[in-house]
Chains A and B, each alone.
Chain A
Amino acid sequence: MAASRRCNVSSENLTVNDVKTPKIDINGKVDLIIQSKKHANDVFDVLEYLQSEKEKNVVCAIDGCTKLFSTLLERGELYVGQLPKEELLIGGDRSADEKYCMFMRHRYNGCLELLLEHISHESYQIKESALCALMQFASMEGKFPLQDLDWSEHYSFPRELIQAVVERLLSQEEDMALLISRFQEYLDMEDVRYYVMSSVRENVGRVMDKTKGVSPNNVFTLLSNINMPSQESELTNYLVKQEGQPAEHKRTFERLWLGFLKYKLPSSMYKKVLVILHDSILPHISNPTVMIDFLTAAYDVGGAISLLALNGLFVLIHQHNLDYPDFYKKLYSLLEPSVFHVKYRARFFHLANLFLSSTHLPVYLVAAFAKRLSRLALTAPPAVLLMVLPFICNLIRRHPACRVLIHRPSGADACDDPYLMEEEDPSQCHALESSLWEIQTLQKHYHPDVATAAMAINKPLSQQEDAISELLELSTYELMERDLKHKQSKTVPLEFDPATQLLQGSGGVGVLGLNFSLE
């Protein structure tokens, strides 16, 4: 029959065209189809290429299809409205034009399906092209709707198409991070974003319930790429020209996140959400207080998650008048040896600095913080010490009553440290009765800058606070570079003991030689 004939033709064509490069072949065919309806059957060949094994061919075919169907859409040569089944098409009593439109519409649908499949292709090249083609179609469909227009609605948006794309993007099998970042370009458009949000919201439940694989990742990546505009007036960028409804957008955004956060997230995802929470989510939520439960729960988890939740909490406390009981006590309990080593220490100390900058804090609390920090400083790397030491000094500067920590002339007799490290309550830890011997210890630190910074407690502190903002992110390597930039004296001191062998002791005992052998 017709189908078989078409197959034969296409296979013949393929064999014939093997000599030609597929690209020229595809382009030629697309041109022919566009020029006249006679060549309508060549569309099968093009679609064939779409399923080709070769990456290059597929990409060319996608380009060809985009061109072809865009033109057809523009010309209105695709059937509009409810599409009858293809089998019925032959028998139906319709005009040739109508039949052609229906035929082409079927091919178009087939093409869309293929493209949607390609979004899950292994090759990123194909994925990307497919995505672009789909979005192109979406935009064309927006302009030249394929549905019978219901004139009560002012615009039509290819909702189904977007939904299908989103569904594919939220694949449960593979990580779509790269593709999603490509997709972000389209998310900048208001309507796309809106419809993506609503379709994601519908999908979240399905995806989150079912799997534990990569899917939350995809959801998160997609969500984190949704950048709400900071001002409503900016709603100008549309895929399909239409009016905007900012309030509606905001509400969808809020519901979307709440829906997402409702589910139990793995801790890495938790951290990621918390990282972006304060500046890309909270400001766009109409009622940020709905996040309180989420944040307090996160704050109670402990460890790095608590550190991160601090940021969101800060926004709530600061801007939304949240009253958090025992906030400082919790903050105090967050100070653990690992706090100096985690990735988020800059953020944590930035916030801690903010929280402790209030001059209305009780003295015992500040003293407890200072003492605990200095105790922990005994395990910190030099880059952190350079930040923590000025931090402690600043605390004492802000609260002059804490000066007894570094200067207690009355009780000059020696004593054991009354501070209780294990006590969780800052009011019970006797920090005020102690002294910062740890900082005195650090005066013997091997790094000259740390030793110098620790020397500051020998003298009454100056009034001016030390700026710690640029020290927050200091890494060991930067410290090393700073050392090297340090103006060096002309001569480099040398070891005067002549070296005769590798494991010879230097500067004291040859510890290496005692424990290791040259093997």
Chain B
Amino acid sequence: MGKPPKKKNLADKVRKTKTSTEIKNNPFEVKINRKKFDILGRKSKHDVGLPGVSRSKAINKRKETLLKEYKTKDKANKFIDKRFGEYDTKMDPEEKILQRFSMERQRTQDKKDMYNLNEEEELTHYGQSLSEMEKLNDMVDSDDDADEKGVLSAELTASHFGGGGLLRRKTQGEKDNGGNQRAKSRQELIEELILKSKQEKRERQNQKEESQVLTEKLDQDWKSIQGLLAHKNAPKADRLEEEDKPKLDEYDMMVRELGFEMKAQPSEKMKTPEEVAREERERLQKLEADRLRRMMGDVVEDCTKTQAHMSADDLNDGFILDGDEKPTLAYQVRDQAGSALSGKGPGRLCLVGEGTKLDGKWNINEEGAKIEGDDEEEGGEGESGEEESGGEEGSGEDSHSDLDSEQESEGGEEEVEEEEKDEEEKDEVPATKSQLSEEERKAQAEAAKTELPYTFKAPESYSDLKGLLQGHPADHQCIILARTQKCNHPSLAVGNKLKLQKLFGFLLEYVGELASRSPPELSTIDKIIPQLYGLCQLFPEAASKAMQTTLVDSAHRMEEVLEVKGRAAFPQLDMLIYLKITALLFPTSDFRHPVTTPALLYISQALTKCPVMSLEDVTSGLVLCCLAVEYISFSKRFCPELINFLLGVLHLAVQDKTSTGYSVVPPFRQNGKVSDLLVLSDPESSQTWSKKTLPLSATQTLTLTTDLDTDHYRLSAVATCMDLLKHCSSLYRELTSYSHIFQPITTLLSKHLPIKTYPAALQDLHGEILATISGSLTSRPLLVFQKKKPIPLKLFTPKIVEVLDYGKKRGNTKEEREKERLNHKYKKEFKGALREIRKDTRFLAREKLNEVMGRDAERKRKVKELFGSLATQEGEWKALKRRKNSRH
């Protein structure tokens, strides 16, 4: 071997023998990494390096891995000695053998043990497991049903399975003896065997056929008898299989019918009154919760509030799948009738129908129909009810006749009517059907001829609507509107939605006109309200738009007048009605609502900007105050204008206006030519006064002939005002500035109002208000900010910078930094790997060189040896020769 390895080995040896402390203390071994800064508390791993140690470590590692790999390079096979303890030098050879034996035993045993719970040992016979043999026999025995039952010969068994021990030995013996002859007989045996089995198979087949023929014959015999029995009590299910072609149609129909009935039933399920009540309560609770949430002003945009009456699937686009409706029309109609019969009230109706699409949509109409009164329904009855009535109470069998009557009624009608009309009638008709007797029906048939027409075109303009409604009494107008609405239901045609949306606007306009007639036809308006409500429920957007436009237009007009004159007249009665309708159609308690908020602003504008010049104005103002109270009564919001106005109105009733402890707010004046509007001309007149409601028409024209009437009217106005004050005083109880808000009113009521001259009822009211106001607490906690999360104190800790793998901080976002870090890591790894690979190759090259040098040295040595031996040989030969020569 060469020198260098020896040297190295020596060095390694020395190193190994030295302890680690010795190495560390040896200045020649240690390399100190200089640090630029001393950092307190940082433990550095790399301040001292031991290059010698690490190099030898690396070399050793290479020897163990790389060198081995190199050695086994291009060598496909290798021996792995898996003998137990073969290389374990610590083990005794005796023990080793014992251990190996036991392991062997265990291995063989383990396999069987899984299924062999009881037997520890396996019994064998001729090297064959006994249990296996038993199993085989069992299998043959249990093969009763198999074809080869009882034909299993000993030979066959033997030939197939190697059979029982004795047999086998015999054949073996034969085989051993016979040689070639035996082989031939065996082939024959097999052929024989095949023949036999085939024959048996054929026999069995024959037998089977015979038995089948017999069974069939028996079945047919039974059938003839069964035919006789079937007419009495054969269940349908049995007939189902024997049904012949000609009967199929009828049957199919029945099946379908049954199918439909089954389908219809779940949605049709009648609810018990308790269920209905509970659902109604739940619905109301949900709506109420919604209302409260909106009142608090939580902004939840996503609440797509579907009207309770509408089906959840209804898109309100008037679209209904044709496939759904057409073939099942008759059934649907009947279903509706059923529901209509079951639920009497409108509210109940809508609940029952909630599940199904059609019902959900139509219930509003039904409600409408209810209110309209009887005659309309009866009118419908007179025309198409007669034929239908039979079909209603019938059971499943009668459904055909129901269908028929449907057609008949359509055909039999005098007027040419569209399909829509039919449907419309159908949902009204059943409601009262059962209540009507024959003669009533006849009478109504008579009446029907003079009745209103049943279909109306949706009005295209306001004048159309006016033309439609003019000249009819209020009830009829309602009916007309209801029918128009039904004839043009959005589900019936595409353009209907738009038409009905317009109808709302026209109706609103019509209401306005009714209100501005003299005298105002308020009772008609009253009747129209349900229609408006229904339309509004159908088209909330359109309704709110129409309402907004009305309000804004009026406010704009008022604003213009204000800019020119500085004051404006009180809104007309139609606006008051509009405001009231707004409150009926839209929730007034919402924190912000697209219609009610502007409406309230409108009221505020009127109450602050319109000076009170007459008793009519007082009435208008009081109506507005009433409306304001209604608007805010649920949410209990504060409305300063309301209090101001009520104070002003009461101020009108004060006689001595010179020294007051309060000041009225514009539009009222402390004193002026109209500031005595509510002062009684004769105190005596209060004795004959009795509380009665003021007419709404008094906002426009007031005809008071005598002084007594005027005084009574004044007292009524004061009473209304006080009533409103009572409401306000209880509404605003919660407010912190309660006493300051009501302070002027208290002063006025207690000191200035001539309450002595007022009737007893008013005096009571007066006392009540004062008691309410003075009953409130006057002290309240001082204001503090809402508790908020405390801001943490400023701490003087150093700024903590993220320690990065690489020097500078690069990249702004987390992702960039991460990418940068990975890049850096990759580079580092790459360099390291490169270095390692280089070291590896260097190592390998060295090894190869060593190898070559080793080989060369060997060869040299051998050559030298050879030369040496040859030289000795030569020497010996020469010596021999010399000796010979010398001898010779």
Residue positions of A touching B, CB distance < 8 A: 336-338, 340-343, 375, 377-382, 405-409, 411-417, 435-438, 440-442, 444-448, 451, 457-460, 475-477, 479-481, 483-484, 486, 488-496, 498-512, 514-519
Contacts and interface: CB of A to CB of B under 8 A. Distances in A.
B384 interface: no
A517 B694 contact: yes
B552 interface: yes
Given A417-B740, A480-B598, A516 B605 contact: no
A500 B530 contact: yes
6 contacts: A338-B665, A341-B665, A476-B555, A492-B594, A498-B530, A505-B630
A459 B666 contact: no
Nearest to B539: A492
A479 B559 CA distance: 12
Contacts of A486: 592, 594
Nearest to A408: B782
A504 B604 CA distance: 22
A422 to B, nearest CB: 9
B248 interface: no
Contacts of B666: 338, 341-342
A82 B658 CA distance: 67
Contacts of A515: 622, 626, 693-694, 720, 723-724
Given A492-B544, A495-B586, A507-B634, 20 more contacts: A341-B608, A341-B667, A406-B785, A414-B782, A415-B780, A440-B737, A444-B638, A445-B637, A477-B605, A481-B552, A484-B548, A493-B586, A494-B587, A495-B587, A496-B284, A499-B529, A500-B529, A500-B533, A511-B727, A512-B626
Interface residues of B, number: 115
Given A412-B782, A477-B556, A343 B566 contact: yes
B559 A477 contact: yes
Interface in B704-750: 720, 723-724, 727, 734-738, 740-741
Given A412-B784, A493-B305, A494-B540, A519 B695 contact: yes
A484 B550 CA distance: 13
A414 B530 CA distance: 51
Contacts of B589: 507
A444 B633 contact: no
B529 A442 contact: no
Nearest to A494: B540
Contacts of A518: 522-523, 526, 695-696
B471 to A, nearest CB: 22
Interface stretch (B25-33, B38-46, B576-584, B801-809): B576-584
Given A414-B779, A459-B788, A448 B530 contact: no
A511 B724 contact: yes
Nearest to A449: B592
A382 B693 CA distance: 31
The 8 closest A-B pairs by CB, nearest first: A508-B633, A519-B695, A507-B634, A341-B666, A446-B637, A499-B584, A477-B559, A435-B783
Nearest to A376: B665
A404 to B, nearest CB: 9
Contact of B633 (A342, A447, A511): A511
A402 to B, nearest CB: 12
Given A441-B638, A492-B541, A492-B594, A336 B663 contact: yes
A505 B727 CA distance: 14
A480 B556 CA distance: 10
B575 interface: no
Contacts of B519: 519
A407 B785 contact: yes
B786 A459 contact: yes
Nearest to A440: B736
A499 B585 CA distance: 7
B631 interface: yes
Contacts of A488: 594
Contacts of A502: 522, 525-526, 529, 577, 580-581, 584
Contacts of B540: 491-492, 494
A506 B738 CA distance: 25
Contact of A498 (B297, B367, B590): B367
A416 B778 contact: yes
A480 B597 CA distance: 8
Interface string B343-377: 00011000000000000000000010001000000
A444 B636 contact: yes
Contacts of A378: 640, 737, 740-741
Nearest to B566: A343
A420 to B, nearest CB: 12
Interface string B585-607: 11111111111011011101100
| Residue from A336, A409, A413, A499 whose CB has the most chain B CB atoms within 10 Å | A499
A147 to B, nearest CB: 48
Contacts of A382: 601, 604
Given A343-B566, A499-B533, A444 B597 contact: no
A476 B697 contact: no
A496 to B, nearest CB: 5
A440 B304 CA distance: 33
A495 B588 CA distance: 8
B665 A506 contact: no
A415 B777 CA distance: 10
A481 B605 CA distance: 13
Contacts of A498: 346-347, 367, 530, 533
Interface in B473-524: 519, 522-523
A507 B720 contact: no
Contacts of B307: 494
A336 B736 CA distance: 21
B703 to A, nearest CB: 12
A493 B720 contact: no
B735 A493 contact: no
A512 B576 CA distance: 11
A509 B559 contact: no
Contacts of A496: 284, 287, 291, 308, 587
Given A475-B559, A493-B305, A509 B638 contact: no
Contacts of A500: 371, 529-530, 533
A409 B741 contact: no
Contacts of A507: 583, 587-589, 630-631, 633-635
Contacts of B735: 441, 444
Residue among B284, B287, B698, B783 with the highest chain A CB neighbour number at 10 A: B783
A514 B595 CA distance: 25
B597 A447 contact: yes
B643 interface: yes
Contacts of B66: none
B785 A459 contact: yes
B720 A438 contact: no
B626 A441 contact: no
Given A496-B287, A509-B727, A517-B693, A457 B634 contact: no
Nearest to B603: A446
B740 A494 contact: no
Nearest to A337: B665
A446 B780 contact: no
Contacts of B737: 378, 437-438, 440-441
B783 A407 contact: yes
A508 B630 contact: yes
Nearest to A403: B785
A26 to B, nearest CB: 40
B301 interface: yes
B785 A460 contact: yes
A286 B566 CA distance: 36
Contact of B552 (A337, A405, A480, A514): A480
A347 B301 CA distance: 40
A379 B532 contact: no
Contacts of A444: 636-638, 734-735
A436 B781 CA distance: 11
Given A502-B526, A506-B584, A494 B536 contact: yes
A517 B694 CA distance: 6
A512 B593 contact: no
